[in-house]
Structure 1
Amino acid sequence: MSSLRKKTVSGLFWTFTQQFSVQAINFVVQLILARLLVPEDFGIIAMLSVFIAIGNTLVDNGLTSSLIRTKDADQADYSTVFFMNLSASIGIYLIVFFCAPLIAKFFKQPILTDVIRLYTTTFIIRAFSQVQQTKLTKEMQFRLQMTVQIPSVIIAGIGGIIMAYKGLGVWALVWMALMQTSVSSLQLWLRSDWHPSLIFSLEKLKAHLNFGYKLTLSSLLNTLFNNVYNIVIGRYYSAAQLGFYNRADTLRMFPIQNLATALNKVTYPMFASIQDDDAKLRSAYSILMKQVLFWLAPVMAILVIVAEPLFRLLLTDKWLPAAPYFQLLCLAGLLYPIHAYNLNILNIKGRSDLFLRLEIIKKIIVVIGVICAIPFGIFGLIYFQIVSSILSFFINTYYSGRLIAYNTLTQLLDIAPIFIIAATIGCGIGWINENIVHQLSLPDYLVISIVGFVYLCLYFLTSYLFGIAAVRDFKNFILKR
């Protein structure tokens, strides 16, 4: 277990370095673009998000996840998946190409036809390097992935900013995505020690598809319903309103997705390596869940409190209508990483059938909820996201908990102290900010700094005094040499 600990800690370090370095650069680029472009430009791209996400899911077919969990994967496995993904990417692109006018008509945005046809070439470009990246992840070579991603983001970001400054509007966002995908894929192809052989095994493909197709159906459902709000807002409201919602959602997902993605890249192969030992798996999962929420909860609480000055400082006054959306979305997203890790338990246990069943159940709930929320406008949709997130927690933990003897109530009791401390301090600081700090008319950067500093001091001090398990786990697992 000590070697696994060292490998995991090393993987965590390089993955967090990669994830936060890449996203920090991307964050700065997005801030600059938000100042140069208008909300409608971001709304147009948000309309595409569901089709891009569905396309990427269909291209992969869940095969890369199958490769990671296959302990004895060989050249035949990797090559078969490579050629399957490449063929799928071409097929999916052709379907989207011919369906582009229908999508544009649905959203009543004629420009979408050309935007979709250019943007979705990323399907084919990404397929050339998907297996290389999967192999690096399986081998936990996150340092190499970091040195690939950072130049890609920098080059694409500079190009996107120049094009936005020149007045290209939404096309600056399209070409930026193409540049980032192209530079990343080229580097992975050149720097990876793996390249495909002229091998295609139907037997291997069948084995991977047997696991992957259920995961793909689950991912399709998840992707479709994760983007259902973009679809509904884009269809029934203006592109500007979708742009406000999209920026709010993107900003709140910055801490959530960075933390979740970084940990997921390391923990999925780590969980897979101990999939047959339920006691170790349960212990590792428990530590992970508490660590994620311990660090995420105070960040989200601070963001809720300082939403308005934050938007004004970073994005200018033209984006202030997005601040109330942002506050509610932060609450809805707090359990996001926990959903992902509970579902990972199902994957590494080979229960992709159960994964699919859960997604169907949750999506039925989403359909009913969205239909009921539409008459209440965008705020009705966002409030339902909070309700949906809570319901998903109980559904996911019930099934995954049975596989590793870690039931919903036990998980809830483990994370409850973190929520109680974060919420209590948040309410107190929020009241002080609204009734005292706000009256002083301080500069936005000073308000954000004061609120953040005071909150974090109180949060960490209180957590230490009350002996929160996450503090002890962090000292034992991360700081112990």
Structure 2
Amino acid sequence: MSLKAKTITGFFWSLSQQFGVQITSIVVTVFLARILEPSDFGLIGMLAVFMALGNSLIDAGMTSSLIRTKDADQRDYSTVFFINLIVGILVYAIMVACSGFISQFFDQPELEHIVKIYCLTFVIYPFSAVQRTRLVKMMDFKTEMKITIPSTLLGGITGLVLAFQGYGVWSLVAMNLLQNLLLSIQFWIYSKWRPSLLLDWSLFKKHFDYGAKLTLAGIINSVFSNIYHLVIGKYYPLAQLGYYTKADSLKQIPVKNISTTLSKVTFPLFSEIQDDDARLKVAYKRIMQQVLFWLTPVMALSAVLAEPLFRIVLTEKWLPAVPYFQILCFIGLMFPVHSYNLNILKVKGRSDLFLKLEIIKKSLTLIGIVLALPYGIFALLWTQVILNLVAFGINSFYSGRFIDYHVFKQIQDIFPIFFVGALSALGSWLLMDWVQNIPFLDWIHLIGGGLIGMIIYFLIMWGAKSEPFIDFRRIILKR
């Protein structure tokens, strides 16, 4: 199968997996949000930074090294498997030892017991990390779909049953733990690969040398990507963290479905053509435009229609989360651009530059948080938006130098998509402003506004003969 065909097929199955998982998660989340209180989600939100930090330590960037290594063999895979397992056990032991300090920091005694159970995923994950990596490397996302959807469904059903029976936050703990356990078991069953009892230190050094800087960058990114959970949980009421956590998780639904799907496909794709800068530039540009072509109207219309969406789906008790969600939608738009720019650095082997940029960006984040904290949670959120724009400039400046695709050219290619997305959002808002005081108003706003916005968006894109629209029609539909 050609690289182009592998990429398109991989995209299809990866997108199917993401949509299947997310549809299941959305249904489960809606029911859980209706049953549980914002404070229950706030307690789990307090652990976000620790979970992200632990996962970065366990992976150590070595699975990315496996994907990038064209001649990886049994010794490579087995070495990474056992290193991941050893680190996973150590990370869990550290979290158990620190559980009391974490609960004291947030002044939430229940957190001590939650940490000890919730963090068992650090021990479970390494048993399937290499199996997952092999599937990604082969772009076998069809098998991954068969594994993830049943695991998400069974874990979600368990969480709902426990929530109905009054277990509160523990229903979220049980759901997460069971989903991860089922994932590992199925990856082990479906994968034809088994580790050999060997650990090659020379291969460990090779993968660690590449992954160490990515790991340190990942740790920095994990801490600062979730630092808002930490700050809000420490300095604001628990319910506010619950609102922020729910708004952030809903923002991630379209982002994960579209951009994460392509991110999983693009890294092995970019790795295949890492030595051909001309092809790499063309692939990067077309993929970035394609993902923003679909993500932009979804995020723009979600921000405009947030209030009826929250009222219908989550009930009025979650309405305080609406302004959080609207601001976070701006951040969601920038995620794929960051991801693909950084993938260029990774496939070029410049993990040193990757780390350097993370240190610069996170230093700016820390300064922004310190300056915004006295002015309340909305100042923190808008600071996050500004810092994301600055991060785009930094990432694209450096990655663009490797493939002759500089920051201003990137802006030139993506600005029309954002502009048309803004026009579609304006059309949707005007409809909402015009239609008032009639029965089923929220449903009319949500469905009518969404349809009007999408029609405006695609008509303008079709009339303007935009590049991503032509690419989709010529490549995807033809395929």
In the superposition, the TM-score normalised over structure 1's length comes to: 0.98
Q: Deviations over 1:341-398 (max 9, x none)?
A: 1000000000000000110110011001011111111101111111011111111100
Taking the aligned partners of 1:257 and 1:224, their CA distance within structure 2 comes to 20
What are the ranges of 5 or more consecutive residues in structure 1 without an aligned counterpart? none
Correspondence 1:206-285 to 2 at 5 A: 206-285=205-284
Taking the aligned partners of 1:466 and 1:29, their CA distance within structure 2 comes to 40
* Aligned residues of 1:41 and 1:170 also touching (Cα < 8 A): yes
Q: Deviations over 1:117-170 (max 9, x none)?
A: 111110111111110111111111111110011110111011000000000000
Match of 1:26 in 2: 25
Taking the aligned partners of 2:333 and 2:264, their CA distance within structure 1 comes to 19
Match of 1:431 in 2: 430
Out of 457, 465, 475, the position equivalent to 1:477 is: 475
What CA RMSD, in Å, does the superposition of the two structures yield over aligned residues?
Answer: 1.0
What are the ranges of 5 or more consecutive residues in structure 2 without an aligned counterpart? none
Q: CA deviation at 1:431?
A: 3.1
Taking the aligned partners of 2:360 and 2:85, their CA distance within structure 1 comes to 32
Q: Deviations over 1:389-429 (max 9, x none)?
A: 11111111000000000000110000111111111232243
Correspondence 1:34-433 to 2 at 5 A: 34-433=33-432
Instruction: Please state whether the residue corresponding to 1:73 is helix, strand or coil.
Output: coil
How many pairs does the alignment contain? 479
Taking the aligned partners of 1:158 and 1:304, their CA distance within structure 2 comes to 29
Identity %: 49
Q: CA deviation at 1:311?
A: 0.3
Q: Deviations over 1:441-475 (max 9, x none)?
A: 54322211100111111110011111211111112
* Aligned residues of 1:215 and 1:352 also touching (Cα < 8 A): yes
Taking the aligned partners of 2:88 and 2:117, their CA distance within structure 1 comes to 14
Q: Deviations over 1:200-240 (max 9, x none)?
A: 10000000000000000111111100001100000001111
Taking the aligned partners of 2:380 and 2:436, their CA distance within structure 1 comes to 29
Read off the aligned partner of 1:334 and give its amino acid letter. L
* Aligned residues of 1:140 and 1:266 also touching (Cα < 8 A): yes
* Aligned residues of 1:58 and 1:216 also touching (Cα < 8 A): yes
Taking the aligned partners of 2:247 and 2:127, their CA distance within structure 1 comes to 33
Taking the aligned partners of 1:182 and 1:332, their CA distance within structure 2 comes to 31
Match of 1:448 in 2: 446
Out of 456, 460, 463, the position equivalent to 1:462 is: 460
Taking the aligned partners of 2:120 and 2:425, their CA distance within structure 1 comes to 45
Taking the aligned partners of 1:69 and 1:399, their CA distance within structure 2 comes to 20
Taking the aligned partners of 1:176 and 1:9, their CA distance within structure 2 comes to 33
Q: Deviations over 1:49-97 (max 9, x none)?
A: 1101111110111110100000000000000000000000011111110
* Aligned residues of 1:333 and 1:389 also touching (Cα < 8 A): no
Instruction: Please state whether the residue corresponding to 1:182 is helix, strand or coil.
Output: helix
* Aligned residues of 2:423 and 2:457 also touching (Cα < 8 A): no
Instruction: Please state whether the residue corresponding to 1:118 is helix, strand or coil.
Output: helix
Read off the aligned partner of 2:249 and give its amino acid letter. T
Read off the aligned partner of 2:235 and give its amino acid letter. Y
Taking the aligned partners of 2:401 and 2:276, their CA distance within structure 1 comes to 14
Taking the aligned partners of 1:381 and 1:441, their CA distance within structure 2 comes to 37
Taking the aligned partners of 2:425 and 2:437, their CA distance within structure 1 comes to 19
Read off the aligned partner of 1:230 and give its amino acid letter. H
Instruction: Please state whether the residue corresponding to 1:129 is helix, strand or coil.
Output: helix
Taking the aligned partners of 1:93 and 1:343, their CA distance within structure 2 comes to 29
Q: CA deviation at 1:45?
A: 0.1
Read off the aligned partner of 2:333 and give its amino acid letter. L
* Aligned residues of 2:297 and 2:424 also touching (Cα < 8 A): no
Q: CA deviation at 1:476?
A: 2.3
Q: CA deviation at 1:261?
A: 1.3
Read off the aligned partner of 1:463 and give its amino acid letter. M
